[in-house]
Structure 1
Amino acid sequence: MSLDPRIPAGWPSLPFREAEARLTAPGAPFAIATVPIRGVPTRIWEKAPPTLRDLFRIARGHGEKTFVVYQDERVTFTGFARAATALARALVEAGLRKGDRVAIAQRNLPEWPVSYFGALLAGAIATPLNAWWTGPELAYGLQHSGARVLIADGERFARLAPHLGECPALERVLTTRMEPDPRAMPLAEIVGPVRDWAALPDLPLPDIALDPEDDATLFYTSGTTGKPKGAVGTHRAAATTVMAYPYSAARSALRRGESPPKPDPSAPQRAALLVIPLFHVTGCHASLGAALYGGHRLVMMHRWDANAALDLIEAEGCTSAGGVPTIAWQLATAAREAGRPLPSLEGVTYGGAPAAGDLVRTLGEALPKVVPGTGWGMTETSATFTHHQGEDYLAHPESCGPPLPVCEVRIVDPLGDVLPPGAVGELCVKGPNVVRGYWDDPTATAEALSEGWLRTGDLARADDEGFLTIVDRIKDMLIRGGENIYCCEVENALYAHPDVIDAVVLPVPHPTLGEEPGAIVVLAEGSSADASEIRAFAAARLAAFKVPVRIVIRDELLPRNPAGKILRAPLRAVFAGVSDQNGSPSWSGR
């Protein structure tokens, strides 16, 4: 266990399993029941919203509180609810049927949650498309999903416009933030301008029968190779996630010997800086869902910029921020360099990509009042599957936390046999938040899912208490002369260098060993470190065979997909064809 000085003496005052048992006992705030899901007994939160429509009703109850802030636009929960209801009714009246797909191609805008819930309340399957995609990629999403309706912003519509004829199922296009176009209908003709949403009539919701196991969402995987797959999530899968952060906070309080926090309607409204895209499950389920459930304010950024984020956090009094680990690194670095400790900020939580253990130290130095938190999840688990924060995180800085009580974990060997605690194997998971399969792809569904268990493709280990550590992606692991090298472990050693702000480990071809580790790193501005110094730093922390034989220093941050995962394919060319014939270490860079 870590000796982090921020862990108070006497912690924990309550064992982990006892804290979990108290919170999940019958009648407790996070009581658990077991129900059949697709024929498999599965644990669920008894008090979670059964469907996303139930979550919407909870959100509507927050009334005149501010829900979304985007530049100079402010939307209340009432305004959001009335606009989403108006859209849902218009979609039903236009002939949309339960189970039809409604695609959403927008950047983070106030119209995004209105589009999303408008589709859901109409009984449709909400289908967010990656706003970073090119025109042909967006067209692929429309073709693959068979979406009948598209709701797009001007930039996405411009990319798609030359390809609309390639999407035969598409019948109706609604647009926002663009000049009129005869091929589309302005969304404002249905819901009006953003500033007037609160003045819309308070209409009843469409009378659509919804079950917790009905299909609700179709999110495309953020894989770094090949065409993305459409992961189909149910209403229960998406709604399950809203319990994750409240549960984690309650468990942390019990472990400190305190009473779990209780909702206080008179307390100042909490506010979260939203920088991760809503078309990603972390942005949609973990951030948007949490705000709807808890009545929090979402502060949207037009484009991520660490110094602009400092200004927004201070101006809006943001109490939380997060996203992928890279954003947390940049936020902490900017705050430290500017001497701005951000007194309103209480928590920084990140996930979506492996987080180096040294990130905890960096956050503590720059933002001493912030409670750090991290978790693990994927598109197929509807975002958060494991999570921990505060002292538990400080005590397990390399871990992404234990699974939520409704979630189950197995670590298996290549034959599928369950491994003991501490052993590394493939991570398999089960829970109410696991998707039911892949859209129109029974083969991929059968390969990934069996009796409720999902094969994740991640290599991981778990300790006796269930704290999970992601070791690597199976496909990214290197094998040097028969020795396994986990890239995440080497990357974490590189991140521990105070000047390294970004790092990736890739294979360097070798004529007899097969491959050896090479690294590309990005250094903080003004750093004087060179490749040999960084290699020596890593050599003091790693077994000799794990130390990168080549290190390349790059001037700009590494390319990533919207989920924060490094795009390794375009970086492999750095070491392609490079072979160290005599096996002696080499490095390059300044």
Structure 2
Amino acid sequence: MTMPASGPETAPATGFASAMGWSPPAGWPACSYDRCRDILTAPGQRLETETIAIRGVPTRVWKNAPDNLRALLALARTHGQREFVIYEGERVTYDAFHRAVARLAQEMRERGVGKGDRVGLAMRNLPEWPVAFFATEALGAICVPLNAWWTGAELAFGLADSGARLLICDEERWLRILPHRDEMPALEHVLVSRTGAETSVDHPAERLEAVIGAPDAWSSLPDADLPDADIAPDDEATIFYTSGTTGKPKGALGTHRNLLTNIFSSAYSAACAALRRGEVPPEPTHKVGLLVIPLFHVTACSASLMGNLAAGNTLVFMHKWEPVEAFAIIERERVNVTGGVPTIAWQLIEHPERVNYDLSSIEAVAYGGAPSAPELVRRIYTEFGALPGNGWGMTETMATVTSHGGEDYLNRPSSCGPPVAVAELRIMDPEGKRELPCGEVGELWAKGPMVVKGYWNRPDATAETFVDGWVRTGDLARLDEEGFCYIVDRAKDMILRGGENIYSSEVENVLYDHPAVTDAALVGIPHRTLGEEPAAVVHLAPGEQASESELQQWVADRLARFKVPVRVIFSAAILPRNANGKILKSELKKLFAA
């Protein structure tokens, strides 16, 4: 690989970076982002790109990405006896994982599951989750990962809406679904993991262990090949349901290419960071990751699971997130990478028990799914001794569109990074007719091989959201002169006070900068003449104190007066979030009506 001969003078720190006390090292960046892209994606390089037609739209893609998820499984099989998943006392190698996938896929084939059929998947993060997912994908069927936090009625909706023929779930989800069994006429077979309960005579379910055994026994299954299936890169692979914070969730219909794009996007981002330092991108090395976000979310399934499988990394699952237990796991398994959503990163930093554990193995704390405060970026670097990382994506983009890490994130802590080499961004006016110039705030549109086909059985919503290969994200954002993206707010979360726009993330970032605040959200509350006014809900760090007037003055010292919260409510717990890490602002608004 050709390295840049020399770089520009040291870049100045951005305003936020300077405020945090971080200055770029001498000679950084050694390479512009445009030059990084040219080097890494050139013909003959591993990360080479090409332009092809996807659904009639010219689209840049990673030339060397696997054709489908069966190909990824074949690659994962070569990792052999390396550990793939650790869950409590269970340890599953890549070889054992493949044996279980092949056995389950064969059983599913015998039950009539084939290309295009939908298979529901509803369970917490267990070793069985990726087995069920990849067995489905290996057949060319469509996996429907359902939100394990949903109620029985919500789970039944997802199964009925997708028309799932087979459901693979754990006992807790099955007991929720069972009372609604008659609402899912297409459902023919149910396989339940880790169950000791008797199932209904009228609606029988079978134990998953009767097919593949318990995880500790997977290594004893026959070493079989996958059943035959013909799968193209743009064949349908998944239906991930959107958050559904308003109205019924919509099923985003993803493809094999969507999922596999993340593998190369992650590799590209890591290589860019090295070139920016003036270093040759290193060869991949084995890593251990603590995965604490749900696999039914695209950040965990697509952005994390795919790349870790390709690299042969080890993933540690937790039964339930608990900071002290996470510290013990990090120490015991020598975890290198963790994160998920900003709330988890905050808890890792703020928890008083942190000092009692050896966390020196941590190299990176990365997250997505929700905006983060610039203060978090600094504290990961200075207190945790790790490089911070984040990115931006959504269910409709199957995760990664922009990626941000290392020195670039420290230098632009309020950005979610530049687009990866196969992605394009636009900032559009409210009508979607005109692209806005650099620096102006408008709706973010994204394009690339990670954008899903559309919404399952929702042609109306598909036509509104997907336009000639672009997805209208509903996020308000701006781009700087180097293409770095700054998410300003969700369009629907913007507060309009007497004709003045208030972007909640701007005020939230200022609140996060206060040393006592570890969680914050700004919402609009009704006002008779102004329409609405800003109000805040905050959660304070353990042992810290702050008053409403103190926080109001803190914001007033840094932002225009009309942006200062007229009320501040203190929450004893971290703020409520959905499974994707997004704060449930509709719940917070109720606090001000009380």
Q: TM-score, normalised by structure 2?
A: 0.95
Residue 248 of structure 2 is aligned with which of 215, 222, 227?
227
Shift of 1:97: 2.2
The whole-number CA distance in structure 2 between the counterparts of 1:102 and 1:393 is: 39
Measure, in 2, the Cα distance between the counterparts of 1:14 and 1:96: 50
Partner of 1:481: 498
Output the CA distance in 2 between the equivalents of 1:340 and 1:398.
30
Q: Which residue of 1 aligns with 2:257?
A: 236
Distance in 2 (CA, whole Å) between partners of 1:223 and 1:20 is 36
- Matches of residues 207-226 of structure 1 in structure 2 within 5 Å? 207-226=228-247
The equivalent residue for 1:390 is 406
The aligned residue for residue 168 of structure 2 is: 151
Contact 1:509 1:576 in 2 (8 A): no
Cα distance, 1:6 vs structure 2 = 5.7
User: What is the letter of the counterpart of residue 211 of structure 1?
Assistant: A
1:137-179 CA-partner distances (Å, limit 9, x unpaired): 1100111000000001010011111111111000000011111
Could you tell me the percent identity over the aligned residues? 55
Which residues in structure 2 correspond to 1:47-446 (within 5 Å)?
Answer: 47-179=64-196, 180-181=198-199, 183-263=204-284, 269-334=286-351, 338=355, 340=357, 342-368=359-385, 370-416=386-432, 417-446=434-463
1:341 CA displacement? 6.2
- TM superposition shift of 1:415: 2.6
TM-aligned CA distance change 1:296 to 1:447, over 3 Å: same
SS at match of 2:283: coil
Give 2:48's aligned residue: 31
1:584 aligned residue: none
Query: 2:488 is aligned with what amino acid?
Result: V
Asked if the contact 1:336–1:366 (Cα under 8 Å) also holds between the matched residues in 2, the reply is: no
Aligned partner letter, 1:480: R
- Structure 1: where are the runs of 5+ without partners? 578-590
Q: Does the 8 Å CA contact 1:213/1:235 hold for their aligned counterparts?
A: yes
Cα displacement string for residues 424-450 of structure 1 (whole angstroms, at most 9, x for unaligned residues): 000000010100000010000000001
Q: Structure 2: which amino acid aligns with 1:457? A: G
CA drift of 1:365 comes to 3.0
Query: Which of these residues, 464, 467, 480, is aligned with residue 481 of structure 2?
Result: 464
Deviation at 1:521, TM superposition (A): 0.6
**What is the root-mean-square deviation in Å for CA atoms of aligned residues?**
1.3
Matches of 2:30 and 2:308 in 1, distance apart? 31
Question: How far apart, CA to CA, are the structure 2 residues paired with 1:365 and 1:407?
Answer: 32
Would the aligned equivalents of 1:335 and 1:367 in 2 still touch at CA under 8 Å?
no
CA distance in 2, matches of 1:481, 1:336: 46
Q: Deviations over 1:345-377 (max 9, x none)?
A: 000111101111111122123212x11111001
Q: Assess if the C-alpha contact under 8 Å between 1:480 and 1:514 holds in 2.
A: yes
1:543 to 531, 550, 560: 560
1:581 matched residue in structure 2: none
Query: In 2, Cα distance between the equivalents of 1:349 and 1:400?
Result: 12
Show the 5 A alignment for 1:495-574. 495-574=512-591
Q: How far did 1:245 drift?
A: 2.0
Taking the aligned partners of 2:104 and 2:165, their CA distance within structure 1 comes to 15
| Counterpart position of 2:11 | none
Distance 1:22 1:16 in 2: 10
Alignment partners' CA distance in 1, 2:495 and 2:144: 36
- What SS is found at the alignment partner of 1:11? coil
Give the structure 2 partner of residue 493 of structure 1.
Answer: 510
Does the CA contact (< 8 Å) of 1:274 and 1:301 recur in 2? yes
Give the Cα–Cα distance (whole angstroms) in 2 for the partners of residues 172 and 531 of structure 1.
55
Paired with 1:23 and 1:335, the residues of 2 have a C-alpha distance of: 43
Deviations 1:201-252 (A, max 9, x none): 1112111110001000000111322111000000001111111222111101
* Residue 66 of structure 1: how far off its partner (Å): 0.1
Distance 1:564 1:320 in 2: 18
**Structure 1 length-normalised TM:** 0.95
Structure 2 counterpart SS, 1:575:
helix
Q: Quote the offset at 1:339 in angstroms.
A: 5.7
Q: Is 1:507–1:575's contact at 8 Å kept on the other side of the alignment? A: no
What is the identity, as a one-letter code, of the residue corresponding to 2:207?
P
Match for residue 20 of structure 1 among 21, 34, 37: 37
**AA matched with 1:16:** Y
Cα distance in 1 for residues equivalent to 2:223 and 2:568:
61
Secondary structure of 2:321's aligned partner: coil
